[in-house]
Each structure stands twice: as C-alpha cells, then as structure tokens.
Amino acid sequence: GNSVTQMEGPVTLSEEAFLTINCTYTATGYPSLFWYVQYPGEGLQLLLKATKADDKGSNKGFEATYRKETTSFHLEKGSVQVSDSAVYFCALSSIIQGAQKLVFGQGTRLTINP
Amino acid sequence: KAGVTQTPRYLIKTRGQQVTLSCSPISGHRSVSWYQQTPGQGLQFLFEYFSETQRNKGNFPGRFSGRQFSNSRSEMNVSTLELGDSALYLCASSLGGQYNEQFFGPGTRLTVL
C-alpha cells in the first residue's frame, strides 16, 4: 500500500539556520504530495503541495520539489525563525472511489532556538 | 469564511463508555474526513463522507462509526471505549473532488480513563 517515511525528530536548530526535513514515499500511480504543519494545540495547516513530478511547492519561505526518480519530497527553508517551531507532516493523497485519502508520515518536531 | 469547527474540544470518558464527536465543515464543503492522531501510530485515516455517503473507510474496528447530515455536518461515534482510543481526533473538510485541499479543524482531544 501507499506509505510515507519521514525523517525522525526532534530537530533543534538555531535561528537563521538552514532546514531540511527528508520525506520519501511509496505509492502506485502519481499521488499529490503535501507538507502540513501543526502548531501546539491546533489542527493541521497545509504548508505547500505539489501535484506532479518536478513541481515545486513553496510557501512562507519553505520549498519542496516532487522528485519521482527518487520518490522524495524533502522540505527546505533557507533561514528558519523561532516562529517556525512546530510539527511538520509529509503526506500523499490516495484516490479511492473518487475520494481523497491522505497518508501521513510520522511527523517531525522542529524547535528553533533564538 | 469560518473554518472547520469541532466540538467538544476536550473530552474525558471511562472505559466501556461511548462518545460522539461533532464536526462542522466550511460552508459549501460537502466532504468530511476523520483522522485519529496518537503519539504511537501518528495520523491515521478513519473514514470519509460525501453527501451523506461513506465513500472510504480506514482500517479501524467496527466500534468506530460515523455519519453525515444533509447540511454536511458530520459526527463520529466510538462505542465501548478502550484506553487505546485516547487520541486527538481531527476532521477535515473539502469540496470533495480528487484534488481539492482538505482543511483541518482544531481537533477533539479524547482521554479514556
């Protein structure tokens, strides 16, 4: 079945450091790929997405490129801020009977120190 | 536009009881999906409803059930609660198409004692 493997956390960085969170997937067909972010006490917010190979999703300084050849969708940010501290989830969509089902990675807790 | 709302936000129950959680989707959204989030298993798909019909179901026991009303509001029910059902239950709404974004609510934190 479809699955997502995400870099284990927690990850702790200093402000302005470069961030990479690795994500690889296993899927049949051509799923859409997503990064969601979860702040303490809140639900998930879509951070960025890519719907086909070589697409680059970007938002708030974060980027991820859909790499079909390596089945990867790594999240990057050039200079992190304290406000980026959160849990990040990589996900893919499975389409079953016309309905979209999200399959998530385990999540990576990111802490940014000032 | 109001976001996805879930009630209650927090719930404490004891083993053997049953519980009903509610989700009100974004206005105009006809699809509601439910997910369970636990530290051990992460985020797992429970089921999805579209126009009052369950289209998709995850790998959970029959104690977990749901329904959707004509106004697209959805409820999920868990009967005969077990300690392992303690989790954050998230619902997400969307327009219902294959590529429509899912918008998540804040979740209901269920604790089973």
What local confidence, expressed as pLDDT, does residue A97 receive?
73
What is the chain B residue with the closest CA to A46?
A: B103
B77/B61 Cα distance (integer angstroms): 12
Mean pLDDT of chain B: 94
**Chain B: nearest CA to A16, how far in angstroms?**
29
**Chain B: nearest CA to A108, how far in angstroms?**
11
- In this structure, are strands A3-6 and A23-26 parallel, antiparallel, or unpaired? antiparallel
- Residue A98 has its nearest CB partner, among B55, B90, B106, at B55
Query: Over its length of 114 residues, how does chain A's per-residue pLDDT go in tens digits?
Result: 889 999 878 999 999 999 999 999 999 888 899 999 999 888 899 999 999 999 999 999 999 999 999 999 999 999 999 999 999 999 998 887 777 889 999 999 999 999
Residues in chain A: 114
Test B50 with A99 for CB contact under 8 angstroms.
yes
Q: What is the DSSP letter of B9?
A: S
Q: Minimal CA–CA distance to A33: which of A89, A96, A85?
A: A89
- Residue B104 has its nearest CB partner, among A43, A93, A98, at A43
Question: Which two tokens mark B86?
Answer: 């303690």
Could you read off the pLDDT of B60-107 as tens digits, one per residue? 999 999 999 999 999 999 999 999 999 999 999 998 877 788 999 999
What local confidence, expressed as pLDDT, does residue B1 receive?
66
What proportions of chain B, in percent to the nearest 5, are helix, strand and coil?
A: 5, 55, 45
